[in-house]
Structure 1
Amino acid sequence: MRISTCVAATVLAGFAAAPAMASPASIAGKWKTDDGRSVISFYECGNSMCGKIDRFLVAEPKGGALDAKNPDKSKRNRKLLGMPIFWNLSPDADSFEGKGYSPEDGRYFNADVSRDGSKLKVKGCVMVFCKSVSFTKF
């Protein structure tokens, strides 16, 4: 009985000494896209993070920029300003993983978003094809 108590105490001590898993750096805030054309706002939404088009830094067409390339024809007349383009971003090691949408080409993708100081690395993958961009703190 003493041996099992010692083993249990050793195992518990090992767990207590193990470093706590760190959360990824916060991505909350406003971020300018790599092309300098818009600002994306990342914010808490429930138990995850979301991102929406917060502002355009270039002139919009008359009537506002529309989601013209959406694969769902019924959504092609919705305005891009204020539209969520990232959702269900949950912490995973040193980044946030979830879903995203690119109104530029009408594609949905798996998103991986991580922060490095004043830069936000956004990686989007569709099947095995991935693209990474960097946003700058706004």
Structure 2
Amino acid sequence: MKPFLIAATAALVAVPASAVAPPSITGRWATDDGKAIVDIYACGAKLCGKVHKLLIAQPAGGQRDERNPDKAKRTRQVSGLQIYWDLAADGNSWKGQGYSPEDGRYYKAHLTARGGKMTMKGCVSVFCKTVTWTKMG
């Protein structure tokens, strides 16, 4: 029995820290600028995010993705728009791809949750912006 116990203990010690999942970021988040509510949810083995609701005044028919670099996508509604995809656990955070309909830019996303707050860092080339969102409910 002792060899089994030693092997089991060794296997637990051998698990790298990166194999431990970061805190979950699934749920509904209020953006720090008060403009939107974003849902983060499972999509396959990874996580995705979409605009649940805009909290700003919108034109008749709803806000459109007017600044999208792809002209064919400029008429789609921002409410319900997927803005995160391929978010995968990476150490104590989540990394993947993001899109900002506010400025029409795609970026590398890095999200970290702690308590009821989530820090989202988005980078285009070497230029980065960090915001903090608040968990709802």
Q: TM-score, normalised by structure 1?
A: 0.87
SS in 2 for 1:63: coil
Larger Rg: 1
The answer to whether the aligner puts 1:42 opposite 2:40 as a matched pair is yes
Rounded Cα–Cα distance in structure 2 between residues aligned with 1:101 and 1:69: 11
Question: How much does 1:61 deviate?
Answer: 1.4
* Structure 1 residue ranges (4+ consecutive) displaced by more than 3 angstroms after TM superposition: 10-16
Q: Which residue is 1:52 aligned to?
A: 50
Rounded Cα–Cα distance in structure 2 between residues aligned with 1:134 and 1:19: 31
The 5-angstrom pairing of residues 68-107 of structure 1 reads 68-107=66-105
Rounded Cα–Cα distance in structure 2 between residues aligned with 1:56 and 1:16: 45
Rounded Cα–Cα distance in structure 2 between residues aligned with 1:32 and 1:123: 15
Question: How much does 1:12 deviate?
Answer: 8.4
Q: Point out the more displaced range, 127-136 or 13-22.
A: 13-22
Structure 2, unaligned runs of 5 or more = 1-5
State how many pairs are aligned.
129
Alignment root-mean-square deviation, CA: 1.8
Identity %: 46
* 1:89-120 Cα shifts (integer Å, max 9, x gaps): 00000100000000011000000011011101
Please, which of 108, 112, 118 is the counterpart of residue 116 of structure 2? 118
